[in-house]
Amino acid sequence: MNNFIESQKWRYATKKFDATKKISQQDFETLKEAIQLSTSSYGLQPYRIFIIENPELRAQLQPLAWGQSQIVDASEVLVFANITNFGEAEIDNYIANLANTRGIPVESVKGYADFMKMKINALAEDDRNNWTSKQTYLALGNLLNAAAELKIDVTPMEGFEPEKVNDLLGFNEMGLNASLIATIGYRHEEDATQHYNKVRKPKEELFTTL
């Protein structure tokens, strides 16, 4: 646990990446698996993650992310897209995967499927979209923690124009919405912010025991 805490103290939102350094394929697969294994409501994972490798596409994405240099300099760029109007079809797909993975008949989990459908269908579409968007933050948390353990830098981004990113990547036609961007790589030695003291609330202010 001490190593985990030290890794959390080491990590920060990198402002400038070293564009000459790439993370290994093995490490990238580890990060992808960490995202895959992330917790989510009901285990539904109501999102998809897009890996933006094409340099021309990154160049088009950069101005939509407020011109941030990480978009073009980072080793990897991920766009987390939440599923919009999430509903019965997605739940049925999950139940089929669950039954196949555990080797059980679909009928044996019908009650669970019906429960999820009842709860999720009761939500207004805007509320459902807000809920699926929140789920991407759980996946991002796993990415941040796994990357810190590997001493790989990640910058999570909300600073972008979702509607324009949706248009660029064709998300609207896929029933998706750009929720988060994460840039991954190695900090540049010229990034002065890596030397700043981490600013957090004191525990006495942050935690309340009732």
Domain of residue 59, residue span: 17-206
pLDDT of residue 65: 98
Give yes or no for residue 109 having a pLDDT over 80: yes
Contact partners, residue 88, CB within 8 Å, separation at least 6 = 117, 121
Structure confidence by residue, pLDDT tens digits, 151-181: 999 999 999 999 999 999 999 999 999 999 9
How far is the C-alpha of 11 from the C-alpha of 156, rounded, in Å?
12
Instruction: Judge contact between 86 and 126, C-beta under 8 A.
Output: no
Give yes or no for residue 90 having a pLDDT over 90: yes
How far is the C-alpha of 128 from the C-alpha of 117, rounded, in Å?
12
- Domain-embedded: residue 7: no
**DSSP secondary-structure letter at 14?**
-
Instruction: Judge contact between 142 and 38, C-beta under 8 A.
Output: yes
Structure confidence by residue, pLDDT tens digits, 18-37: 999 999 999 999 999 999 99
* Number of domains the chain contains: 1
- Domain-embedded: residue 189: yes
Contact partners, residue 93, CB within 8 Å, separation at least 6 = none
pLDDT of residue 69: 98
- Domain-embedded: residue 12: no
- Domain-embedded: residue 10: no
Measuring CA to CA, which residue among 21, 4, 8, 5 is closest to residue 189?
A: 21
**DSSP secondary-structure letter at 175?**
T
Question: Helix/strand/coil (H, E, C) string of 42-88?
Answer: HHCCCEEEEECCCHHHHHHHHHHHCCCCHHHHCCEEEEEEEECCCCH
Mean pLDDT of 4-23: 97
Mean pLDDT of the chain, nearest integer: 97
pLDDT of residue 1: 76
What does pTM read for this prediction? 0.96
- Domain-embedded: residue 8: no
